[in-house]
Amino acid sequence: MTDVLTFGEALVTLRAEQSIRNGGSLRMSVAGAEVNVAIGLARLGHDVRWVGCTSRDEFGALVLRTLRAENVDVRHAALADGPTGLVVFEPRIADLTRVSYRRSGSAGSRLAPTHVEASSDARPRVVHLTGITAALGPGPLGAVRAAAEAATASGATLCLDVNHRAKLWSREEAAAALRPLMGHVDILVASDDELALAAPGGTTEDERVEALLEAGVREVVVKRGADGAQVFGVSGASVARPALSVPVKDTVGAGDAFVAGYLSALLDGEPVERRLERGVALGAFAVASQGDWEGLPVRDELGLLDAAPGSAIR
């Protein structure tokens, strides 16, 4: 049995050292919301399978090589027409980053329901999906729907991170696609301004959370950035944890790291308080490091944030 099965697009990332118009070097890596979560979970020792379409180009080879090196199962990754999508991160001021995409017609956008069917042998405990994949076109949206239905049919826990990207689709388009999925979702993850895209009703946060729980969602996890995160459950109670204070180097990927930490603790059978604590811990690792996932910990490093600043590990 696989711990976590996730579907999505893998991108090659290019990180600039300074403003693009000023030139300079670019550092290359791999990312994508589901890829980041998969790597974060695999580093903590979980059995994770990523399913997506990769290009036949050298960037596609880099994607597969990176995921294999991070112990992510890619046996059902498919080769598809189109280039590998690119994302460029450009530092502007302080920790503000400008993000540009080159993903139109990418191999990753060829994901379809047939790819979900091909991975039916995984028997996952958790299926993780995001609104980013749903926004990539009819095929990926169909794959998200098929994965949600398959999770319900198999008894797997379905986690959906809204992860709205305004450059991919409007809020109206996102709401029309995501709200019908709520009958399948067990854990909904959203920032406070994304709740309206998933909630079938309500105008305030409390009303939207209540509408989601009434629709069948078991846990509503609200990411609050620098203020931490909060979980609302069917019992009516909520639990919150503040973000950890760390030097901020790069905020990109923090939300995905949080999800990886939350799901890791869920798989370990931890209560919601411990899930939140591991989630905010991985979020802190992410923002204190350069890159989407490169600074995420292996399991025996989870306590590193408790060390005194300037400590040497000997």
| pLDDT tens-digit series, residues 134-154 | 999 999 999 999 999 999 999
Using alpha carbons, select from 173, 108, 175 the residue that is nearest to residue 143: 108
| Burial track 130-162 (b if 16+ CB lie within 10 A, e otherwise) | bbbbbbbbebbbbbbbbbbbbbbeeebbbbbbb
Question: What's residue 94's pLDDT?
Answer: 73
Question: What's residue 96's pLDDT?
Answer: 80
Please identify which residue in the block is written with the tokens 């920790």: 95
Q: What are 238-286's pLDDT values in tens digits?
A: 999 999 999 988 888 999 999 999 999 999 999 999 999 999 999 999 9
Question: What's residue 112's pLDDT?
Answer: 98
Using alpha carbons, select from 184, 191, 14 the residue that is nearest to residue 90: 14
Which position among 73, 186, 256, 292 bears the catalytic label? 256
Binning pLDDT at 50, 70 and 90, where does residue 124 land?
Answer: very high
Residue 60 has pLDDT above 90, yes or no: yes
Question: What's residue 145's pLDDT?
Answer: 98
C-alpha Rg value of the chain to the nearest Å? 18
Using alpha carbons, select from 10, 132, 29 the residue that is nearest to residue 82: 10
Please identify which residue in the block is written with the tokens 């060829």: 110
- Amino acid identity of residue 279, one-letter, is G
Question: What's residue 313's pLDDT?
Answer: 78
Residue 310 has pLDDT above 80, yes or no: no
Identify any residues that bridge with 240 across adjacent strands, giving them in sequence order.
230
Question: What's residue 307's pLDDT?
Answer: 83
The strand ranges marked E within 43-186 are: 48-51, 53-55, 78-80, 86-91, 97-102, 126-130, 157-161
Q: Can you tell me the distance from the alpha carbon of 284 to that of 272, in angstroms, rounded to the nearest whole number?
A: 18
Contact assessment for residue 24 and residue 17, using Cβ atoms and an 8 Å cutoff: yes
Question: What's residue 209's pLDDT?
Answer: 97
As given in the structure block, the two tokens for residue 121 are 């042998």
Contact assessment for residue 293 and residue 272, using Cβ atoms and an 8 Å cutoff: no
Residue 236 has pLDDT above 90, yes or no: no
256 is catalytic: yes
Determine the average pLDDT of the residues in 9-32: 93
From the CB of residue 92, how many other CB atoms can be counted at a distance below 10 Å? 10
Contact assessment for residue 282 and residue 249, using Cβ atoms and an 8 Å cutoff: no
Q: Can you tell me the distance from the alpha carbon of 39 to that of 47, in angstroms, rounded to the nearest whole number?
A: 10
Q: What are 178-230's pLDDT values in tens digits?
A: 999 999 999 999 999 999 999 999 999 999 999 999 999 999 999 999 899 99
Q: Find the length of the chain.
A: 314
Question: What's residue 234's pLDDT?
Answer: 85
Question: Mean pLDDT score of the chain, rounded to an integer?
Answer: 95
Determine the average pLDDT of the residues in 48-71: 98
The string of DSSP codes covering 150-166 is HHHHHTPEEEEE----T
CA angle 107, 111, 113 (to 5 degrees): 160
The strand ranges marked E within 8-96 are: 11-16, 26-31, 48-51, 53-55, 78-80, 86-91
Residue 53 has pLDDT above 90, yes or no: yes
Question: What's residue 240's pLDDT?
Answer: 97
Question: What's residue 237's pLDDT?
Answer: 86
As given in the structure block, the two tokens for residue 191 are 């920032």
Question: What's residue 311's pLDDT?
Answer: 80
Binning pLDDT at 50, 70 and 90, where does residue 161 land?
Answer: very high
CA distances from 56 to 62, 63, 102, 111 (A): 10, 11, 17, 15
CA distances from 137 to 104, 133, 262, 267 (A): 10, 8, 28, 31
